[in-house]
Amino acid sequence: MNESHAYNNLLSIKSVFDKLHLTFWLDEGTALGAHRGNEFIPNEGDIDIGMLGEDANKLPRIIEELKLEGWHFFHLNEHPCGVGKQLSCIRLGISVDISVYYLRGDKRWRLMFDLAPSRPKEEMRYFACVYPKHIYENLEEIDFLDAGTTFLVPPREFLELQYGDWRNPNPCFKWQTDYLSMRPEWEIK
């Protein structure tokens, strides 16, 4: 992934979310890279962003604003029940996944989607990833890449819940099966 293009994409996302007065944070592998070495993970294929479920109704406006910034959209995944969204878009040849984190009691959850190329879309599998809500009440600022602009990241507790030993790269890690936060049994209503 071209680091200059990736950082430019983050600045574009930040400008849209700032304009709309919405909170977002570096998520998943992007947060992992930020905490591990204040960089994008080498050979990472995309950028991951998180946003609050309370702002999910703003997704059409976010899409509108991102299009003005030159973004193209290739899917908005949604659980059939209507709750659980993830927006994926691309710009400068780099895709960004924006996951929506919903509040339920003392937890925040996001939906993951897994569609193997050999299965039809009707057979998409859905997984909830569940975290304590206090993680998203304690987001930290980081000058990502030491480039002069700060971004929010979840605390290291998120990485421990997601990856376990997050400090050491695991070349065999598979997001479809190895996220420790996955709760297939969690009912989505």
Q: Please report whether residue 189 resides in a domain.
A: no
| pLDDT value at 143 more than 80 | yes
Dihedral angle at the C-alpha atoms of 81, 52, 186, 169, nearest 10 degrees?
Answer: 130
- pLDDT for res 120: 66
Each residue of 74-105: pLDDT tens digit?
677 777 666 778 899 999 999 999 999 999 99
- pLDDT for res 83: 72
**Least reliable range by pLDDT among 23-37, 126-140, 165-179:** 165-179
**Least reliable range by pLDDT among 7-11, 157-161, 162-166, 174-178:** 174-178
Range(s) of the domain holding residue 36: 3-183
Phi, psi of 61 (to 5 degrees): -70, -40
What's the angle, vertex CA 17, arms to CA 16 and CA 18, rounded to 5? 90
Q: What is the mean pLDDT of the chain?
A: 88
Q: Please report whether residue 188 resides in a domain.
A: no
Share of the chain above pLDDT 90, in %: 68
Q: Please report whether residue 146 resides in a domain.
A: yes
Instruction: Give the residue with greater pLDDT, 7 vs 127.
Output: 7
- pLDDT for res 116: 58
- pLDDT for res 188: 58
- pLDDT for res 45: 85
Total domain count, the chain: 1
The pTM score is 0.91
Alpha-carbon span 16 to 28, nearest angstrom = 20
Helices 28-37 and 156-163 cross at an angle (nearest 10°) of: 120
| pLDDT value at 115 more than 60 | no
**Least reliable range by pLDDT among 19-23, 41-45, 56-60, 120-124:** 120-124
Alpha-carbon span 157 to 8, nearest angstrom = 28
- pLDDT for res 61: 96
Residue 73 CA: distances (Å) to CA of 18, 63, 142: 20, 8, 28
Q: Please report whether residue 73 resides in a domain.
A: yes
| pLDDT value at 180 more than 70 | yes
- Count CB neighbours of 119 within 10 A: 11
Helices 59-68 and 3-19 cross at an angle (nearest 10°) of: 130
CATH of the domain at 100: 3.30.460.40
